[in-house]
Amino acid sequence: MAVWRSVEDGVDAAQKDLDGLHKDQLACAHRLGNLEDGVDAAQKEAEALRERIEGLHAPAGMATLLPSHPIAVPGTSLVLDSGPYGCFLLRQPNLISDHILADSFWDSHLKPVIERAGRFDGSAIDAGAYLGFHSVWPVSFAPSTPLSRKSKSIACCARTFC
């Protein structure tokens, strides 16, 4: 009887091992199914993105400036960037330009001062402007009116040509 008991114990142990392996197999199959679903979803998103990109048409020799995707000006050290604080023509390499390209606010200690003092119906001069960051940033969040659109144009032109 002792021999039978040990064989019976061995069969029970083997059955438990097989049950555990079967559960592991089911879990792996479930995880694999989730991965396959994720790959299918990613492929559909990639195809939709590809279609959107193909739908963008710029005139020959022109580029579309997307937020946080700077464009280098060939043959120069200049980069065109559209970030959260406005559109800038930046020099590379440059400390201030690097800061703006990282979507950081240059001279962050001045931000609350400008926000308190700034008015949409007034005028301001960014004296000593290097890149015009503090000229462009305030008009980037101004309400869209004919006057604010003109102010944005003037700020951009003054920054570019001064």
Tell me if 100 sits within 8 A of 88, measured CB to CB.
yes
Whether residue 62 lies inside any domain: the answer is no
Whether residue 93 lies inside any domain: the answer is yes
| pLDDT for residue 1 | 45
Tell me if 82 sits within 8 A of 67, measured CB to CB.
yes
| pLDDT for residue 156 | 47
Instruction: Clarify whether residues 80 and 53 are in a common domain.
Output: no
Q: How far apart are CA 139 and CA 145, in angstroms?
A: 11
Q: How far apart are CA 156 and CA 87, in angstroms?
A: 8
| pLDDT for residue 92 | 87
| pLDDT for residue 68 | 78
SS3 82: strand
Tell me if 71 sits within 8 A of 79, measured CB to CB.
yes
Whether residue 65 lies inside any domain: the answer is no
| pLDDT for residue 122 | 65
| pLDDT for residue 160 | 43
Instruction: Clarify whether residues 110 and 53 are in a common domain.
Output: no
Model pTM?
Answer: 0.47
- Lookup: tokens for 23: 């559960």
Instruction: Clarify whether residues 104 and 157 are in a common domain.
Output: yes
| pLDDT for residue 139 | 67
Instruction: Clarify whether residues 81 and 131 are in a common domain.
Output: yes
Is the sign of the CA dihedral 162, 73, 88, 97 positive or negative? negative
Instruction: Clarify whether residues 100 and 155 are in a common domain.
Output: yes
- Digits of tens for pLDDT over the chain (162 positions)? 445 577 888 888 889 889 999 998 988 888 888 888 888 888 998 888 888 777 666 566 677 788 878 888 888 888 888 888 888 888 888 888 898 889 888 888 888 887 777 666 666 666 766 767 777 777 666 655 554 444 444 444 444 433
Whether residue 140 lies inside any domain: the answer is yes
Instruction: Clarify whether residues 15 and 83 are in a common domain.
Output: no
Instruction: Clarify whether residues 76 and 149 are in a common domain.
Output: yes
| pLDDT for residue 157 | 44
- Residues of the domain holding 89: 71-161
User: How many distinct structural domains can be found in the chain?
Assistant: 2
Instruction: Clarify whether residues 75 and 155 are in a common domain.
Output: yes
Instruction: Clarify whether residues 39 and 80 are in a common domain.
Output: no
Instruction: Clarify whether residues 31 and 87 are in a common domain.
Output: no
| pLDDT for residue 161 | 39
| pLDDT for residue 158 | 43
Instruction: Clarify whether residues 79 and 125 are in a common domain.
Output: yes
Whether residue 107 lies inside any domain: the answer is yes
Query: Exposed, middle or buried: residue 78 (CB in 10 Å: 0-12, 13-18, 19+)?
Result: middle
Whether residue 64 lies inside any domain: the answer is no
Q: How far is CA 134 from the centre of its chain?
A: 23
Q: How far apart are CA 113 and CA 67, in angstroms?
A: 26
Altogether, the residues listed in the chain come to a count of 162
- Last residue within a domain, chosen from 26, 57, 88: 57
Instruction: Clarify whether residues 47 and 94 are in a common domain.
Output: no
Whether residue 22 lies inside any domain: the answer is yes
